[in-house]
Amino acid sequence: MFIDEVLVSVKAGDGGNGCMAFRREKFVPRGGPSGGDGGHGGDVTLIASEHYNTLLHFRFNPEHSAQRGRHGEGSNCTGRDGIGVELPVPVGTEVHDAESGELLFDFTAPGQRWIAAHGGRGGKGNARFATATHQAPTEHEEGKPGEFAKLRFTLKLLADVGLVGFPNAGKSTLIARLSSAKPKIADYPFTTLVPNLGVVQAGDDRTFVMADVPGLIEGAHDGHGLGMQFLRHIERTRVLVHLVDVSDFTGRDPAHDFDVILNELAQFGEHLLDKPMIAVASKVDACQDPERIHAVEVKAAEHGYSFLRISSATGEGIEALRYAIAERLFAPVTLAPDATIAVGS
């Protein structure tokens, strides 16, 4: 199950109370105060981990508490500190305040640590208050409470390339063709219900990660279809690949589809349109009318995008697309002998 947003409550441990005690030992006249300090409460710490790619482990376990510090004891014994809690989160997780929505931390690299709730400080025992003129203090402190926070975790997948387009535009088939990913592929809309990631090899020592997000439809920004809930997964990408289905049996206008997707991306955030984009005419093996392909090429030229035509079924243009993407990520790239890149702008 792919879960990319959860609400979590974290509670750090309270500090232990300071102790009030006096020494009462034989042969020790005027023993004096001997109350020890309380222990500090444990912290709740978040750690970015590569072993998780979803927030599922928080879905049914949303409350996490650290151990409180132990109270101080006599004979100047300090209480034991509480044991902290470390919570692993996927790389790419954003932590927001659940009430204000403020971004508190963004995990962008493995191993990053952030304390979500600090443990309370332990209280001072009465031995801490002894002075030359105040030799039998009865003062002692209670431990401070640990911090409590309600947080919203939002996962944004870390990928180099994002695939966008209408449902059934061929995104899942393409990522399956380019990588070892095995997304669900079928001939009906919204086959892809969650994002898929695939690692693509480009040359002997070059790889990049490609993300396939569920298809968009007109009005997605108003909640139509699957809405735009998954578009945040391509916010961190460096290149967008826009697939347009040009096959004859769709009954749609490819040029109109092209404009619709650009409009939906703009509704989500203008920053998506600032990314380098490659326009791709998909399923050209099922297109008998060259004008449908040409219409997409013209639209790509109007916006200054590179243009390619592919067929994931026959393999036409797949290698050219692979290395066109790599050129934008790792320029310059040594092409495969049979790879020819056709650029429309």
- Go through the domains of the chain in sequence order and give each one's CATH number: 1-155 (2.70.210.12), 161-330 (3.40.50.300)
40 to 55, 139, 266, 334: CA distances (angstroms): 30, 19, 50, 58
Write 186-193 long-range contacts (CB < 8 A, 24+): 189/215, 190/214, 190/215, 190/225, 190/226, 191/167, 192/167, 193/226
Residue labelled with tokens 């309270």: 14
pLDDT at 136: 87
pLDDT at 298: 93
pLDDT at 277: 92
Whole-prediction pTM value? 0.72
pLDDT at 188: 42
pLDDT at 42: 97
Burial class (CB in 10 A: 0-12, 13-18, 19+), 102: exposed
pLDDT at 173: 86
pLDDT at 342: 40
Per-position pLDDT tens, the chain of length 345: 567 889 999 999 999 999 999 988 777 767 789 999 999 999 999 999 988 888 989 988 999 999 999 999 998 999 999 999 999 999 989 999 999 999 999 999 999 999 999 999 999 999 999 998 898 899 999 999 999 999 999 988 778 898 888 888 888 888 888 887 665 554 544 444 567 778 888 776 788 888 887 767 665 555 555 556 667 777 888 899 999 999 988 778 999 999 988 888 888 776 888 889 999 999 998 888 899 999 999 999 999 999 999 998 888 999 999 889 988 888 654 444 444 434 333
Please say whether the beta carbons of 164 and 234 come within 8 A.
yes
For residue 270, give the 3-state DSSP assignment: helix
Residue from 114, 187, 197 nearest 160 by CA: 197
Please say whether the beta carbons of 91 and 110 come within 8 A.
yes
H or E segment to which residue 209 belongs: strand 207-212
* Residues ≥6 apart with Cβ < 8 Å to 274: none
